[in-house]
Amino acid sequence: MLPIGAYESPALTAEQISQNLDLIRKQLSKQIQANEDAAQRLLSGGYGSDLVHQIHLYADFCSLLAKRLKVDLIHGHDWMTFPAALGAMVQSERPLVAHVHATEFDRSGIHGNRYVEDLERHTFHRASAVVTVSNYTRSIITNRYGASPNKVFVVHNAVEVEEQTEPARRPFEDKMVTFLGRITFQKGPDYFVRAARKVIDQNRNVRFVMVGTGDMYPRMIELAADLGIGKYFHYTGFLNREQIKKIYGMSDLYVIPSVSEPFGLTALEAMSQGVPVIVSRQSGVSEVIENAIKLDFWDVDAIAKSILDVIGNDELHTQLKSGGLEEVRRISWANSAERLEEVYRGVLE
């Protein structure tokens, strides 16, 4: 198998790999003499300023690599690697498994990038199998992109359950409701802010924390101010892994009202840290969890009511917390790996 993004094969010795890479470097340099600097950046792991050019440069590299290495199948992830995966498929004459973590439609709705959406559609039709992270995404790929349902398989994501963080002290006594994710259209941050307005109308002893960055970040600050609830909001920007665990340790509730979410790993992460969660029905993670509140992303009245219910009812809070912890421990990457192996075997038969 050649996973696009890896330059090694366990079937070759280190010396053979080095010889192959040297040969590929020479061939690639000849093909793109007009842009030797870009080639050097790619081969050293760096990136240039033109993303599309880098994607096609990477595709050239992987095509040459696949021609030199003996592989059983190609496994590519999402649109940025699809040109490379398709090139490797053609050069190796081996089957392609296209793994979809998010589509352009998920990210941008009907106003997405036409080039990206066309590339996704072409890849889904050329691939021997398409793997999605949820039934939700599978339906998008079969209905919107027209892929054959017979070759689209679901392999749900999972999460490594880490040791639960001790409850962290916070600089206020109020309840804390957290949104954690990219602050973009896909994650529904505006619905979170509008639901917060309705919560504060009934309970002013609540703080709302938005963790992350994105193109809607400035607009969310403005929206909270326009709604008169700016003083109840805290914005952290980007946080590293340890800082995020501290946020979970402070949180009474995690809310992610995604508009279109292929999966939603952060919900599982929050549950693994003992934080009750509210997720949208338009998310893949809602397919694999029961101990969570599931609502439509657009229903800010229902979201607000559920926030008030969880932070105001200790019994419900404890039930969601303990049930979520128990449930998330049963969602393992080992099960996901077994399912993916089944897909591989089916493709290679």
**What are the residue ranges of CATH 3.40.50.2000 in the chain?**
2-158+336-348, 175-328
Fold adopted by 2-158+336-348: Rossmann fold (3.40.50)
Write out the two tokens for 348. Answer: 């290679």
pLDDT grade, residue 187 (50/70/90)? Answer: very high
Q: Strand locations in the chain, DSSP E?
A: 2-3, 74-77, 96-100, 129-132, 152-154, 175-180, 206-211, 233-237, 253-256, 277-280, 293-295
Output the pLDDT for position 308. 99
Q: Are 136 and 288 in contact (CB under 8 A)?
A: no
Tokens of 18: 């080095």
**113 and 41 Cβ atoms separated by less than 8 Å:** no
Does residue 27 surpass a pLDDT of 80? no
Residue 34 confidence (pLDDT) above 50:
no
Section 184-212 average pLDDT? 98
Spatial contact of 177 and 278, defined as CB atoms under 8 Å apart: no
Cβ atoms 136, 103 nearer than 8 A: no
Given the structure tokens 């995020």, which residue do they identify?
244
The stretch 64-74 carries a mean pLDDT of 89
Predicted pLDDT at 165: 66
Predicted confidence (pLDDT) at residue 304 exceeds the cutoff of 80:
yes
Nearest to 180 by CA among 259, 239, 262: 239
Cα–Cα distances in Å, from 342 out to 131, 256, 305, 347?
A: 11, 32, 43, 9
pLDDT of residue 91: 93
- Give me the residue label for tokens 């809602």: 286
In this structure, of 101-110, 130-139, 246-255, 258-267, the range with the lowest mean pLDDT score is 101-110
Task: State yes or no: pLDDT of 10 exceeds 70.
Answer: no
Across residues 185-205, what is the average pLDDT?
Answer: 98
Query: pLDDT tier at 180 (50, 70, 90 boundaries)?
Result: very high
pLDDT, tens digit, for every residue of 145-174? 999 999 999 999 998 887 766 777 788 899
Read off the pLDDT of each residue in 228-248 and give the average, rounded to a whole number.
Answer: 95
Stretch among 39-48, 239-248, 249-258, 273-282 having the lowest mean pLDDT:
39-48
User: What pLDDT, on the 0 to 100 scale, is given for residue 299?
Assistant: 99
Q: What is the pLDDT of residues 104-132, one digit of tens each?
A: 999 888 888 898 999 999 999 999 999 99
In contact, 95 and 128? CB cutoff 8 Å: yes
pLDDT band at residue 26, thresholds of 50, 70 and 90?
Answer: low
Residue, of 264 and 18, whose pLDDT is higher: 264
Query: Mind listing the pLDDT tens digit for each residue in 259-299?
Result: 999 999 999 999 999 999 999 999 999 999 999 999 999 99
- CA dist., res. 79 & res. 116, Å (int): 7
What is the CATH topology of the domain spanning 175-328? Answer: Rossmann fold (3.40.50)
What's the rounded Cα separation, in Å, for the pair 155 and 116? 23
The CA-atom distances, in angstroms, between 160 and each of 44, 137, 139, 266, 319 are 31, 22, 27, 12, 22
Q: Is the pLDDT of residue 42 over 50?
A: no
